A and B are shown apart, each in its own frame.
Chain A
Amino acid sequence: MPTPSRALTGVPLSRRAVLATAAAVAGAALAGCTPERQRRRGEDAPEPVEPRVDPDVLVAAQALGNQQQMLDLLDATQQRHPRLTRRLAPVLAAHQAHADLLAEAVPADVSASPSTSPDPSPDGSTAVPRRRRQALARVVAAERELATSTKRHAFRAQSGAFARLLGSMAAAAAQHEVVLSTAEGRGAS
């Protein structure tokens, strides 16, 4: 299986390069099952072949799932606490940009399943604390978790360019954690 976009390693990442990475990762997913099929050709009763998905596509799918979970939490928090809308807007925009890029690397037939599960809540929905301060603290904790899980994804990525992109997304989540914690005390009671 070709390793996508090794050649991009170390080159400043333009949008085009990111999209090329995404396309290469997605393309590798389609090519992944070919050797398996060839090996099985000629058998009397060929079993249905489970298509083998490129490992970087699985990483992208999990990372996308985690970003979508974060977007859901931010949406729900803004709805429950409209006074947090402005503070959370740039954070939400950043995660939307992350999710959009990752979505381009995940083909439609691969589901974006998060690697972490959200805290269970009594009514099954994304629970947003009633108090604004606690709601913000919940977002801060979620950003910490996201930074950690995204670093794990970056560690696993085979493409260097993809690892670099995921590392940047992790750093962004860590920045959010800090700016939202410093804002916690101000007007968020």
Chain B
Amino acid sequence: MTPKEALQAALAGEHAAVYLYGVVGGRVSVSTQPELWQRVRDAYNLHRGRRDQLVAMVRAAGAEPVAAEVSYELPNEAMTPALQEQAALEIETRCAAVYADMVGSTSGANRQWALDSFEDAAVRLLGFGGEPEPFPGIGEL
């Protein structure tokens, strides 16, 4: 993967995360699940910010940023708090993997940005019921 391709892959991942958090967030009840609602809302805002930063980073690299898909398939129907949490966990797990790849395919400031985003996803997924792993983001060795 070239550095440009890595940036585009990360942007594609963030387009998906923003869409999915938007849908999941719409299904979480703020009155009965205020904490989950807040965590999903924080994640949504964070991923929107990352998406916008990646758009700028892709442009700075001299490429046209990839567009979002019309829609993305939810990890599950997200109709109960347990499923909503599980969906959020799935979104962060995918982001961690995308950022692990970005670390490996970039250098300098873009790699530093990927390292920080990778760490954030690995920690954020703990808030959605995830467990620490010896090698987050890169799966089984």
- Hey, which bits of chain A sit against chain B, CB under 8 A? 8-10, 12-15, 18, 90-91, 93-94, 97-98, 101, 147, 151, 154-155, 160-161, 163-165, 167-172, 174-176, 178-179
Contacts and interface: CB of A to CB of B under 8 A. Distances in A.
B63 to A, nearest CB: 17
B133 A167 contact: no
A59 to B, nearest CB: 13
Contact of A174 (B103, B104, B112, B122): B122
A168 B114 CA distance: 11
B123 A160 contact: no
B104 A164 contact: yes
Given A172-B134, A175-B122, A176-B132, 15 more contacts: A13-B138, A97-B135, A167-B100, A167-B104, A167-B115, A167-B118, A167-B119, A168-B135, A171-B100, A171-B136, A174-B122, A174-B123, A175-B133, A179-B126, A179-B132
A101 B12 CA distance: 32
A50 to B, nearest CB: 27
B13 interface: no
Interface string B40-69: 000000000000000000000000000000
Interface residues of B, number: 31
Contacts of A179: 126, 132
B134 A98 contact: yes
Contact of B103 (A14, A93, A94, A164): A164
Nearest to A18: B141
Contacts, number: 102
A170 B119 contact: yes
A161 B141 CA distance: 13
Contact of B138 (A9, A165, A176): A165
B25 interface: no
Nearest to A96: B134
A28 to B, nearest CB: 18
B1 interface: yes
Give 3 nearest A-B pairs by CB, closest first.
A10-B1, A164-B104, A171-B122
6 contacts: A15-B141, A97-B135, A101-B141, A155-B115, A172-B122, A174-B122
Contacts of B135: 97, 165, 168-169, 172
Contacts of B116: 151
B123 A164 contact: no
A14 B115 contact: no
A18 B100 CA distance: 14
Given A164-B100, A175-B126, A147 B119 contact: yes
Contact of A178 (B99, B101, B126): B126
B119 A171 contact: yes
Nearest to A166: B103
